[in-house]
Structure 1
Amino acid sequence: MKSNRKDITNQRIERITMQHAVVGIDIAKDVHAAQMTDFRGRSLTPRHLSFSNTLEGFEKFLRWAREAQSKHRLTSLLIGLEPTGHYWFNFANWLLEQGIEVVLVNPVTTHRNKENRDNSPSKNDPKDALVIADVVSRGYYTDYLAQAAVFDRLKTLMSNREYWVKQGISLGNRIVRWIDLYFPEFRQVFPDWTTLRSLASLRACPLPCDLKGRSVEEVMDLWRKQGMKRAAGVSGRAKAAVLLATAARSIGDTRAVEEARQDLGHLLQTYDNVMAMLDEMDEALQSLLEEIPLAEQLRSIRGLGDLTVAAILAGAGDLRLYAHGRQLLRRAGLNLAECTSGTSKGKIKLSKRGDSTLRKHLYWGMLSLLRQNPDFKRWHANNQARGLKKQASLFKLIGKLARILIGMVQRGETYRGADFSPVAA
């Protein structure tokens, strides 16, 4: 299917012929609901079908759909799903394995069209299924296509990594809270608590009372026992002396010393485990990127790191399926939205209707490009010289990056800079 945005809705409508049976399915955790219509939205079944989220339920649905097709002499079947949480993945993939076309409907679209038939805000599963079928018949859907397994593996790994990154941030905030309660002066000595010397101190002598009566040499010896190879030296002695001095004047809470020490030990142990898992995941990501030829093309852009490349390929999938950079922007919710009525012109803003993780990594990737890539630095400076604000220029360059990425992938080329012609990959 062509992907010109001006014609895309018409093309989706024209795709549905008189021989199509359109099925809308309201996805739930345990029991799904299905309704069938023809290409004009007329109901073809007297009542909805409820089926379980099991293989038996899937087979029951397929028998029901085939019987209705045969009864109305329809040769094609188009299944529309509302992607609710993660409950739809298994069913959608099973349908693809059966050779059945699957499309997805945005839940926002379903919500806004639920009053079309009965002019009522009421909501139930059979009604939602019928609304989804109506929406599909009018072309308001996106295709769901199976991709190479390596992209699914990459997406799963990136999703897992995002979860553990959030857990690491949460643990870090909890550790900072602990420091503020029991040794608030600690951060005057170690502004960054994640450094080796700071972590060694938190493990060996976290509380001010643990440092009471100790000498500089004893503190450095505790650091050595925590695995620090360069615990001594001028800077080490100075840090130890300052740490002892601040501990002597600490106002930290001393009412639950043993419990506080135990709490910090658990937090640090869990934090270490999370950091070790993230390191393993980063190694796995790099290994997976070696299996994807597209990754090498994206890496050819100076400043686009492995994590950003992995996030783009995980969130967007196979970029060879995209015809224009605008599709990638819409996937990330970075397309522009404007609300205008009559003489009133609303503010233009980002739609944010897309993958938030992809959007985040495209933003961070652009910050990296503005630091390291001379082409993007120059384009950014030119944008600001023409009056664009910094953030507006940044998002404009994300659009340029999206067009560059899709163009490179379509032509099988690597990036050689704005002053050079791309070369074949």
Structure 2
Amino acid sequence: MKKAMLAKEGTLIVTVDIGMTNNHGYCSAADGRSSKTFKFENTRDGFDALWTMVLASKAAFKCDEVIVGYESTGPYVEPLIHYLKKKPVKIVQVNPMHTKKMKEINDNSPLKTDSKDPRVIADIIRVGHALSVVVPEGDVAYLRRLNNARERHVKERAALLNQLRQFVFLTFPEFTRVLKTIFSKTALYILKKYTTPDRIGRASQEELDEEMRRLSRNKFRTRDAAALINFAKNTVGIQEGLQGLVMDIQHVLIQLELLAGFIAAIESEMEITLRRIPYSRNLMSIKGFGIVTVAGLIGEICDFTKFTTQSQITKLAGLNLYEVSSGKRRGQLRISKRGRSLLRKVLYYAAMVRDGSEFMENYADQREQVIKEAA
């Protein structure tokens, strides 16, 4: 994503304020001549009405080319982008923060209306503060969807694990005295099979010992099974309404199993799709780069050939540096975070685990500790 050139004479600037149901459009020439703001729906007829208005304005203002701009405000613009991609136009977007500031510059008012916003967007494009749009296609578009789906499921899993930890604390606070984390395979198996502290307390020590050894690959000992049974018999976990909490725990465990299957299926699709992208092999050859990392990079960056400098990709990820300094005070350097957050996350984790990274030793120590606790 790079800054678009200043709109020159003979260019029709078409701007759209995006909504979920209806959009508001506006057409203006580089010299200031313009149409009235008009409304159109997010339907085929609505998009066709927009295009009819564009052609009419292009002829009326005697323009040679068309720039269509919008404020980047979420997924509602995507159908329109794919519709316009087939038309002879250049598509650009503007930063919502620029729109907010330009409104107050224009009339010293923070007023926001559907008729005002497209005119403000046109002013931003006219002075050259718009960004070009890279629309993913084919396998790259599929990877972006897979990345977004995986990210959603991972967040859902984290939320469910936090719920599970709370429920287990209420029913059996001593559980983590033996199994340090309830997120391990061993802990999840016991919670699913025995459901309550009472059932764990009445379990056969030999059977529980064998199960814990098998699931943890002999990281647990006989004394651990005995300790868990003893804690269960004398737990201070609540008894009132216990069955309701048990139902919650079982429901969360079912959801976690489903999510594990979804995430595995997504990663399998990522691997299959990457095989169809020739240059993915080059990225996979980098130490520390796995399927999820490479799929994330390609899906978020899209077409690497659209970028001519490293700084353009840095800005796309929101990793460009800035500081706020005034007079003798020098501000601290920070990253802008005005970019694709998932790309930042992918690059961050890739830097954390790469061989030779200054974070590698610390990461390896923490990973080893987590594996021990998860056993």
**Which of 157, 181, 184 is the aligned partner of 1:195?**
184
Does the Cα contact within 8 Å between 2:13 and 2:66 map onto a contact in 1? yes
1:73 counterpart = 2:62 = yes
Kindly provide the amino acid, as one letter, of the partner of residue 198 in structure 1. Answer: A
Instruction: Check 1:234–1:157 CA distance in 2 against 1; reply closer, same or farther (3 A cut).
Output: closer
Does the Cα contact within 8 Å between 1:220 and 1:232 map onto a contact in 2? no
1:34 counterpart = 2:25 = yes
Structure 2, unmatched stretches of 5+, are: 363-375
**Which of 288, 295, 319 is the aligned partner of 1:310?**
295
Kindly provide the amino acid, as one letter, of the partner of residue 159 in structure 1. Answer: N
Kindly provide the amino acid, as one letter, of the partner of residue 22 in structure 2. Answer: V
Higher relative contact order (CA closer than 8 Å, sequence separation 6+): 2
Kindly provide the amino acid, as one letter, of the partner of residue 180 in structure 1. Answer: F
- How far off is 1:324 after superposition? 1.4
- How far off is 1:39 after superposition? 1.4
Whole-angstrom distance in 1 between the partners of 2:77 and 2:218: 60
Structure 1, unmatched stretches of 5+, are: 382-389, 391-425
Instruction: Check 1:311–1:198 CA distance in 2 against 1; reply closer, same or farther (3 A cut).
Output: same
Query: What CA deviation, in whole Å up to 9, does each residue of 1:110-131 have, x standing for no partner?
Result: 1110123323221101110000
The match for 2:268 is 283
SS at match of 2:107: coil
Whole-angstrom distance in 2 between the partners of 1:74 and 1:158: 40
**Which of 10, 16, 20 is the aligned partner of 1:19?**
10
Q: Percent identity, aligned pairs only?
A: 26
Does the Cα contact within 8 Å between 2:134 and 2:303 map onto a contact in 1? no
Does the Cα contact within 8 Å between 1:79 and 1:103 map onto a contact in 2? yes
- How far off is 1:328 after superposition? 1.2
**Which of 149, 153, 172 is the aligned partner of 1:160?**
149
**Which of 189, 193, 201 is the aligned partner of 1:204?**
193
The match for 2:45 is 56
Whole-angstrom distance in 1 between the partners of 2:320 and 2:217: 55
The match for 2:307 is 322
- How far off is 1:345 after superposition? 2.7
SS at match of 1:114: helix
The match for 1:245 is 230
The match for 2:365 is none
Does the Cα contact within 8 Å between 2:29 and 2:61 map onto a contact in 1? no
**Which of 326, 342, 351 is the aligned partner of 1:357?**
342
Whole-angstrom distance in 2 between the partners of 1:97 and 1:270: 41
Whole-angstrom distance in 2 between the partners of 1:360 and 1:129: 32
- How far off is 1:367 after superposition? 0.5
Kindly provide the amino acid, as one letter, of the partner of residue 44 in structure 2. Answer: L
Whole-angstrom distance in 2 between the partners of 1:230 and 1:299: 32
Instruction: Check 1:253–1:173 CA distance in 2 against 1; reply closer, same or farther (3 A cut).
Output: same
1:128 counterpart = 2:117 = yes
SS at match of 1:341: coil
Does the Cα contact within 8 Å between 1:28 and 1:84 map onto a contact in 2? no
Instruction: Check 1:24–1:258 CA distance in 2 against 1; reply closer, same or farther (3 A cut).
Output: same
The normalised TM-score by structure 1 is: 0.80
Query: What CA deviation, in whole Å up to 9, does each residue of 1:203-257 have, x standing for no partner?
Result: 1223221133443134357x49xxx956997945333211111112210011122
